[in-house]
A and B are shown apart, each in its own frame.
Chain A
Amino acid sequence: MASRTVSKDIITLRGSASIVSEFFGYAANSILYNRGIYPEESFSKVKKYGLTLLLTQDDGVKSFISGLTSQLSEWLEAGKLQRVVLVIMSKATSEVLERWNFNIETDAEVVEKGVIKEKSDKEIMREIQAIMRQIASCITYLPCLDEACVFDVLAYTDKDTTVPMAWVESDAKLINNPQMVKLHSFDTKIHKVDTIVSYKNDEWEDEE
């Protein structure tokens, strides 16, 4: 067997920020599809990360997510973004049912000095692929969302971050006594993203 030489690609802060923000866009679409927030017929298939993923064709949601990812990329380049949370709430009662928590650790040295890191793109894609697979398989253990739900996105930023026009300060929209499941993480050597999904305890599970 021939020996494999692992080729490493150069990764800059901007590149890493675009990878992470793009990942969040696809992850949000995947979550919206898998949790049934929007009807299945409003999604179309695309190839990304070596997988067949589903992207929404609703103009409103599309524009919302594109605006969101552009702002997240900006914050990531500035090193101001700490966490991104996708919150799924009941439309009727505004009760928070699920929180998809994407924790981001930024290498401060890269932000301050503009140091370049090296990591194979394939390796990063593989790590993201694993997370996407886990998101797709989450329907096996997450409780069913029987009622109509809406989603919202929260960004945990540094205290000194200026609030853009389309953003306001908000509460954290926490769940009381949630169940938590830790998913895989991926690392671009500049940004490390950990994924945790916390969901409201199902009454059936409590009774059991």
Chain B
Amino acid sequence: MIFMPKKLEPFPFLSFCKEPNASKRQGGKREMQFLTPPSRKRRAEAEAEAGTSAGTSGAAASPVSDRRIVLYEQREAVPFQVPRASFGPSDQLMCTYHCRQMVKSEFFVALDTAEKENAEYKARLAALNEQLYKIEEEREKYRDEASFLQQELAASKARENSLQERFLKEVDNSEERYRDQLRRISELEFEIKKEMDSRVAAEQFTETLKETVRELQTKLESLSDSSDREINSLRRELSYVQDESKFSSSKVTAELERTTLRAESAEEEAELLNEQLIGLKEQLDECLTQKGEIEHNHSSSNISPSNGSSDDDKKMIKLLQEELHNYEKEVQEARKLKSSQLNSELLKEKLLEEQSRRERAELELSKLHELQVKAQKLELELTSWKSLLNDIPDIGSYSDIPKKFAELQKEALENMAKLGEITAQLKEIKVAMEYADLSKQRAETECMLAKEKVESSSLEVKRLQLMLASVTEERDRLRKDSSASNKDAGPSDDSRVEELEAALNDKEQMMKEMESSLQEHREMIAHQHAELKLFNDRLTDESKKVKSLERESDRLRHEVALLESKLGHGDYSSSNTKVLRMVNTLAVENEAKQTIEALQAELKRTTERLQAVEELKGQFDAALPEKLIQLKNQIAVLEKREERYKAVFAEKISVFRKACCSLFGYKIVMDDQKRPNGIPVTRFTLQSIYAQSDDEKLEFEYESGSMNIVMNDYTSQTDIAHQIEIFIRKMNSIPAFTANLTVECFNRRTLC
């Protein structure tokens, strides 16, 4: 919108000067009086005379007194019409001639002076007119400039208005956006606080749970290790048991064979002994028959006594009796020998069996010890597990633990999902903040532009004001000059002056309006400055919030990177995921094929062996069923005896151990082991009865007849090591070392 100034009709006007005494106003107009030099006294007297003579006429006045240039005819007509009748004719004529001459001379003088003055005034007028013309030109220039400035002002006003409107709109928009963003930020902050609190709580909970999970995992690992160890030990035991069973089965078969052989040998011996018995019996019978015969002969010979033959008979009888006795003795001795042989063989077998049983019992005892230790450890672990179960909330039994794990993992996953959502929200906030920053920057730049424009417009306004002030000063000056110069100019200049005054007034009004608009602009600018300050404050707050959000986003990004690394590492949650593998892999296939072929070949061999064994068994079964039953009965009897011997041995060995412990002061634990190179080694662990802790144990290894000490934490102590150095290394005497240690422990105990 372009405003064009009104086209003022140029009118020539004198520069108006404000007169100090111009106070006459008639109908709102000022009367300009041209001041003329003061009249002379003559003029005054003449005027007075003329005044008295022409008192009745309203228009009577000398040109000098009236200060009007009156034509001579009129002038002559005026004064001489009235006073003619008052004077005499000659005197009057002389007087009038003199008066006329005087008046003429005075008139000429006055005319001259008036003409001079007029010339002067004309010159002055001309000069003033020139000045006026110049001033008018300058005025026109200034007017053009003023119009141009007004146009520019109007344009700048319009631009300002449009800028202000735009700025206001943008400010309103940005305000609305800021408010929305503030609302969103406050909501998000609230949510973030909530999430942070929940996250902190979840983190703490997850940390506690992680710790418990770690502990549980370590315990699980330890348990699994222990279970693995137990499994391995059980497997070993199984293998031992299997070996033992094989050994026992082989033993049983060997015993069977032995018993069969024994039985055969016993049968043979029994046959032999029977034969011997039969022989002896036959001999006995013969002897008895001989004895009977002899007795009969003796009795028959008693009738015919004959001393010589009775002595012979007696001797024969004695001999026979002695022989009988001897035979009986021999038979008894043979029986005794037989029984002793049987007993010795039985005892030997029993010894062997007892030895093997003793070895087995010792093994089992050592295993028992180990099992007891394991059982204690397991009991401790169980108690610890139970205490853990009590510590962990919402868990009543072991089966609840994996569920709890799954729940915790679910919670952790949910927290991770929430974290992901929070990151997404943060990203949205970031985007919104960036957009707000951009809009803020745009608003700032526009504010800067508006400021610059306002400043430029204010500068222009100032310049215009200065120009206007200078113009008003010149106007006043010119007014003064024009009023001083144009007092005598006449009524035409007054109208021009009036027109100029009207134009001045209009300009003054316009200036006032511009000043008022300037003030309004200034107020607007101040208000905008205040708003800008407010927005800047808000922007700083928002930037701080953005920085804090950026820090949080960095933290979350770091966490996301950690999660991605975990993902890349291959971690997974066992509650949601399971890992499957194709079994029929190529390498395994080939190996499986090979193993299958090998197993099939073994199967064939074992089936062939089984068939052969079954055939043999059938043969064996067909041949000696009764013997087998007998042998089985014997085996049952032997097993019962074995159990009895075991029980007795266990009692004996416990008594023996206690006796050894009480006599020598050491609890001895024996353990058979195998070195990695396959050499069997027996390990003895000695603990003194005067030991102050369970760690004070001595370990020895018995290998092929030599006993060696094994260094451990207890024996590596300085005093113990010193004793070992002296007694074992130097003196090669373990009993001395153990005795010395016992004495020292006893002294320590008694002193304490």
Q: A167 and B577: CB pair below 8 A?
A: no
From B568, B583, B587, give the contact of A167 (CB < 8 A): B583
Does A5 sit at the interface, judged by CB under 8 A?
A: no
From A101, A152, A155, A163, give the contact of B568 (CB < 8 A): A101
* Mask: chain A, 130-169; 1 = CB below 8 Å from B; 0 = not: 0000000000000000000010111111110101001111
Complex-state Cα separation, A196 to B564, whole angstroms: 10
Q: B576 and A154: CB pair below 8 A?
A: no
A-side contacts of B583, CB under 8 Å: 166-168
Q: B581 and A150: CB pair below 8 A?
A: no
A-side contacts of B564, CB under 8 Å: 182
For chain A residues 58-93, which have a beta carbon within 8 Å of chain B?
60-61, 64, 67-68, 71, 82-83, 85, 91
- Taking the nearest CB of chain A, how far is it from the CB of B570, in angstroms? 5
Q: A60 and B586: CB pair below 8 A?
A: yes
Does B565 sit at the interface, judged by CB under 8 A?
A: yes
Does A178 sit at the interface, judged by CB under 8 A?
A: yes
Taking CB as reference atom, which chain A residue is nearest B567?
A103
Does A170 sit at the interface, judged by CB under 8 A?
A: yes
Does A174 sit at the interface, judged by CB under 8 A?
A: yes
From B565, B580, B586, B587, give the contact of A155 (CB < 8 A): B580
Most buried by A among B572, B579, B585: B579
Does B162 sit at the interface, judged by CB under 8 A?
A: no
Does B578 sit at the interface, judged by CB under 8 A?
A: yes
Complex-state Cα separation, A83 to B564, whole angstroms: 14
Q: A159 and B585: CB pair below 8 A?
A: no
B-side contacts of A103, CB under 8 Å: 567
- Taking the nearest CB of chain B, how far is it from the CB of A45, in angstroms? 23
From A68, A159, A172, give the contact of B570 (CB < 8 A): A172
Taking CB as reference atom, which chain A residue is nearest B565?
A180
From B567, B578, B584, B587, give the contact of A166 (CB < 8 A): B584
Q: A157 and B578: CB pair below 8 A?
A: yes
Q: B570 and A101: CB pair below 8 A?
A: yes
Does A171 sit at the interface, judged by CB under 8 A?
A: yes
Complex-state Cα separation, A168 to B581, whole angstroms: 5
A-B pairs with beta carbons under 8 A, tally: 93
Does A188 sit at the interface, judged by CB under 8 A?
A: no
- Taking the nearest CB of chain B, how far is it from the CB of A136, in angstroms? 20
For chain B residues 582-604, which have a beta carbon within 8 Å of chain A?
582-587, 589
B-side contacts of A68, CB under 8 Å: 582
Complex-state Cα separation, A163 to B583, whole angstroms: 11
A-side contacts of B587, CB under 8 Å: 91, 150
For chain B residues 710-748, which have a beta carbon within 8 Å of chain A?
none
Taking CB as reference atom, which chain A residue is nearest B573?
A159
**If A150-B587, A152-B585, A159-B575 touch, does A182 touch B568 (CB 8 Å cutoff)?**
yes
Most buried by B among A61, A68, A172: A172
Majority SS at the chain A contact face: strand
Does A198 sit at the interface, judged by CB under 8 A?
A: yes
Does B569 sit at the interface, judged by CB under 8 A?
A: yes
**If A150-B587, A158-B577, A159-B577 touch, does A64 touch B582 (CB 8 Å cutoff)?**
yes
Q: A154 and B589: CB pair below 8 A?
A: no
A-side contacts of B572, CB under 8 Å: 82-83, 156, 172
**If A67-B582, A167-B582 touch, does A174 touch B569 (CB 8 Å cutoff)?**
yes
Q: A156 and B579: CB pair below 8 A?
A: yes
**If A182-B568, A198-B569 touch, does A154 touch B577 (CB 8 Å cutoff)?**
no
Q: A198 and B579: CB pair below 8 A?
A: no
Complex-state Cα separation, A91 to B580, whole angstroms: 20
Q: B570 and A99: CB pair below 8 A?
A: yes
**If A64-B584, A152-B585, A166-B583 touch, does A180 touch B569 (CB 8 Å cutoff)?**
yes
- Taking the nearest CB of chain B, how far is it from the CB of A180, in angstroms? 4
**If A60-B586, A64-B585, A166-B584 touch, does A154 touch B567 (CB 8 Å cutoff)?**
no
Q: A85 and B570: CB pair below 8 A?
A: yes
Q: A154 and B581: CB pair below 8 A?
A: yes
Most buried by B among A159, A161, A169: A159
- Taking the nearest CB of chain B, how far is it from the CB of A128, in angstroms? 20
Complex-state Cα separation, A163 to B578, whole angstroms: 10
From B570, B580, B582, give the contact of A198 (CB < 8 A): B570
Complex-state Cα separation, A198 to B567, whole angstroms: 10
- Taking the nearest CB of chain B, how far is it from the CB of A200, in angstroms? 12
Taking CB as reference atom, which chain A residue is nearest B585?
A152
**If A156-B577, A159-B575 touch, does A60 touch B565 (CB 8 Å cutoff)?**
no
Q: A178 and B581: CB pair below 8 A?
A: no
Complex-state Cα separation, A174 to B131, whole angstroms: 107
- Taking the nearest CB of chain B, how far is it from the CB of A18, in angstroms? 20
- Taking the nearest CB of chain B, how far is it from the CB of A85, in angstroms? 7
**If A60-B589, A61-B586, A64-B586 touch, does A170 touch B569 (CB 8 Å cutoff)?**
no
User: Knowing that A60-B589, A154-B579, A155-B581 are A-B contacts, what are 5 other residue pairs whose CB atoms are under 8 Å apart, sorted by A's residue number?
Assistant: A67-B582, A158-B577, A172-B579, A173-B570, A196-B567
Q: Which 7 A-B pairs have the closest CB atoms?
A: A170-B581, A196-B568, A180-B568, A167-B580, A155-B580, A60-B586, A174-B570
Q: Could you write out 16 A-B pairs with CB less than 8 Å apart? A: A64-B586, A68-B582, A99-B570, A152-B582, A152-B585, A154-B581, A156-B572, A156-B579, A157-B578, A161-B580, A169-B580, A170-B580, A174-B570, A175-B569, A178-B569, A180-B568
